[in-house]
Amino acid sequence: MQNSVITNFSFVYDGKKYSSLNLDKKKTDSFVKDGFTVTKETYSLDSIVITRERKEFGNNAAYSLLWFENTGNKKSKVLSDICDIDQPMDIDSTEDILPPPFCAYGNIGTKIYPTVGCSDPWSANEFNPREDRLNKNGNRYSCTGGRSSQVYAPFFEVHNGKDKGFILAIGWTGQWFAYFKKDKNAILVNSGIDNLNFYLKPGEKIRTASILYLEYSGPRGAGYNQFRRIVKDYFSPYGRKISKEPAPLSMLMWGGATPEYLIGVIEKAVKEKLGFEYFWIDAGWYGDYESYCPDAYTGDWWKYVGDWHVNRRIHNKELRDVMKAAENAGMKTMLWLEPERAYNEANIIAEEPGLFIRHPDKNNPPLSPERNMSLLDLSLELGQKWMINIISHYVEDLHLTCYRQDFNLDPLVFWNSRDTADRMGITQIKYIMGMYHVWDTLLEKYPELLIDNCASGGRRIDIETLSRSVPLWRSDTYCSFNFNPNWAQSHNIGISRFLPYSGCGIGRFPDDKYRFRSCHAAGLQTDFLGYDAYKDDISYDMSKIKSLVEEYKSVRDYYSCDYYPVFGFPTDDTTWGGWQFDRPETGSGIIMAFRRDQCLADKVRIFPGGISADKKYYFENIDTGEVLNISGSDLIKSGFDIHIPVKRDSRLIRYRVE
């Protein structure tokens, strides 16, 4: 490939297109930081100063971020069509796959693999790759509603069907777009924030979407582990700051449960030696509701979102007694908040109306829940300070180790309602900048704080949120206590291509080995004690749960190592599923195999990745005790078989170099 880094961006200014190829470059500064080269390039156009920050990670990988500033004393001309990347990526071949009536899907031809995001209804396909051929007029993708991983997630792979490809990730927690089009033997790539058309006020400075780009050689998927290592080493808070700790194993509890029950559950977990590391209090603990709300499915707790004070009717000690009990039990503490959203009936709307953006159709009969809600205006410094103060209070008062931020609202319609025709997109930009400022301020103020990024599950996953947080609840699929565990497998198979750290929920029935293993991820949480808070007819095999927890902890560290989708990307119940995670530094790893509920085949052959031909490997089946000694060359040539005689069963295989 000819392009080793991101080189070109473009935009339209006063109706004329400009790019980094024809702008006046004022200066370039370069320095080395944390093992990679940082370059700052400054360009000028009228009173507009454009700064590009670029980080090069080696191995044909780079990160790029643009800033636009009006340094004049009057408003600028209109900026539009900003593309944070606008250049052809040379992959040597853009051979088309055969058109109909021939088979359109084979191992030939250039294809785009966009990543499916979260959606309604929930789906087994979430985080898995689609397979798209190049359209004549190009392929355009975007998220929906202003949440960055809704419907589509901002992670793309393009491969020429032979031996070259690239991965593109977009860093924007709002409404992004990506466009790919054939350009001779290259793929023209454009991406950025969707629907921008604005002038800048004097002194106004904004940023746009960032780009993380990686070129690789080899078959499809050969770049996954390069990308994962970059995210782990340079973006993820775990890789950068909390590397001595694994992602948490959490006991998730409902905030509307009484302190007596919550403390009782903590004591039960300690007595049974279940080994939970975090005590996670979710929604329902706030507001002034008087109804009976012992779980997420009972009462009207949801109408009090926005009133962020502890409901003293339930928690007369304002959760301090509960969190203290968790700390005394050796657990760290986590609390759910959703400060960006408020119901219109919340007290804060009347007390601080200037802090919120009301739905543009608020005066019409409510046709959707969003019309009964308001959005905290993070484009305002006042809104940012309010949110920082709310979160800081609970971090300090409850000694939180993890702040869990949810966001159950599509913000795009709210942002757009604030914009005029010549300022389209500016509210969104300033809002997202405000959100980043809030998180950055919290992380600077509390260096050991972990932020859990949740937005109706995993609807705000992008490289900018990944650099500040970890998605410990990557899909609201897990809200259903009896969700299909095969879906959790599929989510892990898909998302692990790009994320070394993410989390999954188990739901009820944690003594079901198949379910427990299906939910394995770098982080794991179960709420089975919370579901059964007010029920006496459920009993669990606590010794089995303890054993499954110990097994999980023994392999957890592998989930942030190298990853190989050795079972492909299955999303139905008639197939095998599973994964391989490998630690190349030690030549060891794990393989998890699942024969799903409706799978007729009792045997599958896999070809593990990361194998050295000149070494010998020792494989141990943890479930059957079977041992296999095999040379790397034979393993590469012939693979090996996994046998599961019954449906809905699993095998955990550990291996090492002998």
- Per-residue pLDDT of 240-293, as tens digits, reads 765 567 899 999 999 999 999 999 999 999 999 999 999 999 999 999 999 888
**Other residues' Cβ atoms within 10 Å of the Cβ of residue 493:** 23
- Reported as type and span, the H/E element at residue 604 is strand 603-606
Q: Is residue 95 part of a domain?
A: yes
Tokens 């509603």 correspond to: 145
DSSP of 452-476, one letter per residue? EE-BTBBSS-SHHHHTT-B-SS-BG
In this structure, the answer to whether residues 553 and 570 fall within a common structural domain is no
* Distance of alpha carbon 472 from alpha carbon 404, whole angstroms: 9
In this structure, the answer to whether residues 600 and 461 fall within a common structural domain is no
SS3 607: coil
Nearest to 145 by CA among 580, 455, 515: 455
Angle of helix 320-328 versus helix 259-271 axis, rounded to 10: 10
**Lowest mean pLDDT, pick from 96-100, 167-171, 384-388:** 96-100
pLDDT of the residue at 627: 97
Confidence class for position 24, pLDDT limits 50, 70, 90: confident
Q: Is residue 2 part of a domain?
A: no
Cβ-contact 66, 207 below 8 angstroms: yes
The pair of three-digit structure tokens given for residue 293, joined into one six-digit string = 């709300």
pLDDT of 381 over the 60 cut: yes
8-state DSSP, 520: -
Say which residue, 481 or 157, is predicted with more confidence.
157
* Final residue belonging to a domain, choices 519, 540, 560: 560
Confidence class for position 366, pLDDT limits 50, 70, 90: low
pTM value surpassing 0.85: yes
Q: How far is CA 2 from the centre of its chain?
A: 31
* Distance of alpha carbon 348 from alpha carbon 336, whole angstroms: 18
Q: Is residue 160 part of a domain?
A: yes
Q: Is residue 4 part of a domain?
A: no
In this structure, the answer to whether residues 595 and 452 fall within a common structural domain is no
Domain that holds residue 87: 10-225
Cβ-contact 555, 625 below 8 angstroms: no
**H helix runs in 329-380, sequence order:** 347-351
pLDDT of the residue at 521: 98
Average pLDDT over residues 82-93: 91
Residues 6+ apart with CB under 8 A from 531: 295, 481, 507, 508
Cα-Cα-Cα-Cα dihedral sign, residues 232, 235, 241, 247 = negative
pLDDT of 516 over the 80 cut: yes
Nearest to 455 by CA among 123, 124, 119, 115: 119
* Final residue belonging to a domain, choices 517, 536, 560: 560
In this structure, the answer to whether residues 376 and 250 fall within a common structural domain is yes
Tokens 């002194």 correspond to: 203
Confidence class for position 23, pLDDT limits 50, 70, 90: very high
* Distance of alpha carbon 617 from alpha carbon 619, whole angstroms: 6
Average pLDDT over residues 134-150: 96
**H helix runs in 361-411, sequence order:** 381-397
The pair of three-digit structure tokens given for residue 289, joined into one six-digit string = 């509701």
The pair of three-digit structure tokens given for residue 631, joined into one six-digit string = 């040379």
Residues 6+ apart with CB under 8 A from 537: none
In this structure, the answer to whether residues 174 and 269 fall within a common structural domain is no
In this structure, the answer to whether residues 72 and 163 fall within a common structural domain is yes
User: Which CATH number covers residue 271?
Assistant: 3.20.20.70
The pair of three-digit structure tokens given for residue 533, joined into one six-digit string = 């808070």
Q: Is residue 82 part of a domain?
A: yes
The pair of three-digit structure tokens given for residue 174, joined into one six-digit string = 């709002």
Nearest to 433 by CA among 421, 419, 415, 451: 415
Residues 6+ apart with CB under 8 A from 194: 142, 175, 176, 177, 425
Q: Is residue 232 part of a domain?
A: no
pLDDT of 158 over the 70 cut: yes
User: Which CATH number covers residue 639?
Assistant: 2.60.40.1180
The predicted-structure confidence for 164-182, as pLDDT tens digits, reads as follows 999 999 999 999 999 999 9
Confidence class for position 415, pLDDT limits 50, 70, 90: very high
Average pLDDT over residues 354-365: 80
* Distance of alpha carbon 521 from alpha carbon 497, whole angstroms: 13
pLDDT of 96 over the 80 cut: no
Cβ-contact 178, 190 below 8 angstroms: yes
Q: Is residue 3 part of a domain?
A: no
In this structure, the answer to whether residues 506 and 613 fall within a common structural domain is no
In this structure, the answer to whether residues 149 and 280 fall within a common structural domain is no
pLDDT of 349 over the 90 cut: yes
In this structure, the answer to whether residues 194 and 70 fall within a common structural domain is yes
* Distance of alpha carbon 420 from alpha carbon 418, whole angstroms: 7
* Distance of alpha carbon 135 from alpha carbon 336, whole angstroms: 43
* Final residue belonging to a domain, choices 201, 225, 249: 225
pLDDT of the residue at 452: 97
* Long-range own/partner contacts, residues 581-585 (CB < 8 A, 24 or more apart): 581/496, 582/558, 582/608, 582/609, 582/610, 583/557, 583/558, 584/610
Cβ-contact 145, 411 below 8 angstroms: yes
Half-sphere exposure for 621 (CA within 13 Å, toward CB): 14
Q: How many domains does the chain have?
A: 3
Residues 6+ apart with CB under 8 A from 270: 329, 330
In this structure, the answer to whether residues 249 and 184 fall within a common structural domain is no
Residues 6+ apart with CB under 8 A from 596: 486, 570, 572, 573, 574, 575, 576, 577, 647, 648
Confidence class for position 534, pLDDT limits 50, 70, 90: very low
Tokens 């705000």 correspond to: 460
Q: Say if strands 402-405 and 356-358 run parallel, antiparallel, or are unpaired.
A: unpaired
Confidence class for position 628, pLDDT limits 50, 70, 90: very high
In this structure, the answer to whether residues 152 and 259 fall within a common structural domain is no
pLDDT of 94 over the 80 cut: no
User: Which CATH number covers residue 101?
Assistant: 2.70.98.60
In this structure, the answer to whether residues 652 and 523 fall within a common structural domain is no
Q: Is residue 230 part of a domain?
A: no
